[in-house]
Amino acid sequence: MPAQRRRPPVKPAIEVTESRLAAAEMLADMRNGELLDVAFEARNAPLDPRDRRWLQELTYGMLRVRGRLDAIIGPRVSLGFARLDADLADLMRLGTYQLLYMGSVPAYAAIAQTVELAKWRHGIGASKLVNAILRRIDRERSLLDSEIEQLGGDPLDVMAAKLSHPRWLVARWVARWGEAETVALLNANNTEAPLCIRPFGVVREQLEAMLEAADVAVSETPWLDDGLQIRSPVAITQLGAFQQGAFFVQDPAAALVARYAAVAPGSLVFDLCAAPGGKSFELCKAARLIIAADKSEARVQRLRENVQRLEATTVQAVVADVRSFPAAHADTVLLDAPCTGTGTFRRHPDARWRLRVSDLAVCASVQRTLLRSAADLVRPGGVLVYSTCSLEPEENDQQIEQFLREHPDFSLAPPPAGSVPADVLDAGRLRVLPQRHGVDGAFAARLQRVPS
């Protein structure tokens, strides 16, 4: 990982906006291993609400189209884009995104601010390079689409650059679903994820009335009869309904996993890898007790804060590793396994650029170990639910098939009819795909242990 340049001790001669400074620091944080959401939360704190929204639009938007930006910038860097300092390359991406995608930013401001940032962080020579490249991109806007269409004559290269995904992932998906459906998936990943919420302790109509009284526009969410989608730009933590524990944030795909589990009333449930707790809060509507576990102390603390805010008295948050769990024999065990997250790229646009081919094998190995450990926690006659937010067979169907071969005391047990819509079921397994269902991707398999 490249070392970060030390910032000069004085501010730039031309004042750079605080939100642009924060964007540059966010990307530096991410190059040092931080996740996008964490970096954003850390860097947006000093900003006012309007600048926070602008920062989010810039950074999340840039990462969604980073591949396309690189295809535009690259040919205009004579020494080669890959040879540029990583920080300087990110500044060029931010400037180009403002030029081409943020209509509220005049071209002169996008260029001048980025040039000044480059001068401040890298010196006068770097700033001249940024100035020349951004001005050329501004002049040659009409050529950009045709340049990308002519990339080497390889349709996969064009698709990967045009729709901004790693080529190896595009190739996998085209082989599985074909070109048209892969294009639909890539486009879905490049849209901004909506903010979806679920009522807690109130019915949907009550929650809708509370939000509308606060001038928050809402609409229905797909696939759920009680979900709401917030249409207004709003700081949700400042809403009275949030502070009163009337809702929690959850994409419909995650809610469908919890409904697919079909927990029997009065059950004892272990929710493993549970933080931040959305599935636990759905499951506790039927269960007698939810033990919501995660091995990360920080993530469990966040879960506990949600439990306290919602007054979810039947959810107990604990720090615990699945492989050494301090209890045994629940009626239902939900393992929401760590995965590559390829079903949530619209929500985590940085993930597509971090992911490597080798990560599939690494995640699959961890998942196998966790699944075997989770199986030991299921009482005879009980249910094990394995889920991921991945689209990849190695993490989903192949895991289940291998598990069933090794555990003849378990069998696939689809939920009762009506638990989830038939359109998200595939041979008894839950399969939610962004390009087909318009929400995050999710997979789940419900497995029952034979009675003793």
Residue pointed to by tokens 């603390």: 301
Side chain identity at 293, as an amino acid letter? Answer: A
**Beta strands in 403-441, from DSSP E residues, in sequence order:** 410-412, 425-426, 429-432
**Beta strands in 251-355, from DSSP E residues, in sequence order:** 268-272, 289-294, 315-319, 330-336
Q: Are 322 and 290 in contact (CB under 8 A)?
A: no
**Please, which residues have CB within 8 angstroms of residue 362's CB and are 6 or more apart in sequence?**
none
Distance CA 384, CA 413 (A): 9
Residues noted as catalytic: 389
Q: What backbone phi and psi angles, to 5 degrees, belong to 24?
A: -65, -40
Coil/strand/helix, residue 104: coil
If residue 446 lies in a helix (H) or strand (E), which one and from where to where? strand 442-449
Q: Are 385 and 333 in contact (CB under 8 A)?
A: yes
Tell me the β-bridge partners of 430.
Answer: 425, 444
- 276: preceding bond cis by omega (within 30 degrees): yes
Q: Which two tokens stand for residue 141?
A: 């806007």
Q: Which two tokens stand for residue 364?
A: 């699959």
